[in-house]
Structure 1
Amino acid sequence: MIAAVTLGAWLPLSSVLGQIGTRFPAERKVVKDPVTGTMLTFLTSTPAGDTKIYQTHPQWTADGQWLVFRSNRVKGEALAVHEKDGTLIQVTEGGYTGMLNLAQKSMKLYLMRSTGGPPASQGAEGARQRSALQKQVVEVNLERLFADSKAGKLQPTTVYQRVCGTIPAEMEAGGDMALDAAEDRVYFRVGKTEAAKHLAADTKLADNFGPRNMGAGPAGLASMNVNTGEIKYVVSVPFQIGHVQANPFVTGEIIFCWETGGKSPQRTWTVLADGSGLRPLYPEADYEWVTHEAVISPDEVAIAIMGHRKINPAKDNNTLQASTSNKPADPQNPGQETDWGPSGTREKPTGLGIVNLRTREMLIAGQTPSGSGLWHVHGSADGRWAVGDDFARNIYLIDRHSHEMILLSAGHKTTAADHPHPTFSADGTRIEIQSAMLSADNRSMNICVIPVPADWLKRRYDGK
Structure 2
Amino acid sequence: MLLQFATLAMLASPLLASNFGKVYPSEKRTMHDEKTGVEMIVLTEGPASDSKPYQTHTTWTVDHQWIIFRSDRGDHGRQIFLVNQDNGKIIQLTDEPDTNVGSINLSEKSMKLYYTRGGKSDLVKEGEERPEELVELDLAKLIPDALKGNVKDKSNYERVVVVLPEDLHGSGGMALDPDDSAMYWGVGWAPSEAEQKARAKEREALMKGRRDIDQSNTDPNASREAARKRFELNGRGPGGIRRIDIKTGEITKVIDVDFRMGHVQTNPWKPGEIIYCHETTGDAPQRMWMVQADGSGNRPVYPETEDEWITHETVCGKDELMFNIMGHLPYLRERPTGIAVVNLRTNSMKILGQVEEDLPNGTQGGFWHSNGSPDGEWAVGDTFEGNVFLIDRDNGKRTLLTTNHQMRPDHTHPIFSPDSQYVLIQSGMLSQGENLDLIMVPVPEKDHD
1:167, distance to aligned residue in structure 2 (A): 1.5
Identity of counterpart residues, as a percentage?
42
Contact 2:289-2:298 within 8 A present in 1 as well = yes
| Within-5 A mapping of 1:57-96 | 57-74=57-74, 75-94=77-96, 95-96=99-100
Aligned counterpart, 1:336: none
Give the alignment partner of residue 421 of structure 2, picking from 418, 429, 437.
Answer: 429
The total of aligned residue pairs comes to: 390
1:195-218 per-position Cα deviation (integer Å, ceiling 9, x unaligned):
xxxxxxxxxxxxx95425300111
In proportion to residue count, which structure has more helix? 2
Match of 2:167, SS? helix
CA-based RMSD of the aligned residues comes to 2.3
Aligned counterpart, 1:406: 399
1:278, distance to aligned residue in structure 2 (A): 0.7
Contact 1:17-1:77 within 8 A present in 2 as well = no
| Within-5 A mapping of 1:128-277 | 134-174=131-171, 176-192=173-189, 209-211=228-230, 213-277=233-297
The runs of 5 or more residues in structure 2 that have no matched partner are: 1-14, 192-226, 358-363
Choose between structure 1 and 2 for higher RCO, CA contacts under 8 A separated by at least 6 residues: 1
The runs of 5 or more residues in structure 1 that have no matched partner are: 1-14, 195-207, 312-344
Aligned counterpart, 1:450: 441
Contact 1:291-1:303 within 8 A present in 2 as well = yes
Give the alignment partner of residue 119 of structure 1, picking from 117, 122, 131.
Answer: 122
1:42, distance to aligned residue in structure 2 (A): 0.7
Hey, what's the Cα distance between the residues in 1 that align with 2:366 and 2:21? Answer: 41
- In the TM superposition, structure 1's runs of 4+ consecutive aligned residues that sit over 3 Å from their partners are 15-18
Contact 1:133-1:172 within 8 A present in 2 as well = no
Which amino acid in 2 is paired with 1:401?
A: D
Contact 1:42-1:448 within 8 A present in 2 as well = yes
Hey, what's the Cα distance between the residues in 1 that align with 2:72 and 2:263? Answer: 23
Which amino acid in 2 is paired with 1:111?
A: Y
Contact 2:356-2:365 within 8 A present in 1 as well = no
| Within-5 A mapping of 1:291-302 | 291-302=311-322
1:84-132 per-position Cα deviation (integer Å, ceiling 9, x unaligned):
1100100124312421111111111111222x4442589xxx8xx99x9
Normalising by structure 2, report the TM-score: 0.82
Hey, what's the Cα distance between the residues in 2 that align with 1:368 and 1:60? Answer: 29
Which amino acid in 2 is paired with 1:101?
A: N
1:175, distance to aligned residue in structure 2 (A): 6.7
| Within-5 A mapping of 1:42-57 | 42-57=42-57
Match of 1:146, SS? helix
Which amino acid in 1 is paired with 2:90?
A: L
Contact 1:385-1:397 within 8 A present in 2 as well = yes
Hey, what's the Cα distance between the residues in 2 that align with 1:55 and 1:349? Answer: 24
Which amino acid in 2 is paired with 1:367?
A: Q
Over 3 Å counting, the alpha-carbon distance change for 1:47 and 1:78 in structure 2 is same
1:166, distance to aligned residue in structure 2 (A): 1.4
Normalising by structure 1, report the TM-score: 0.80
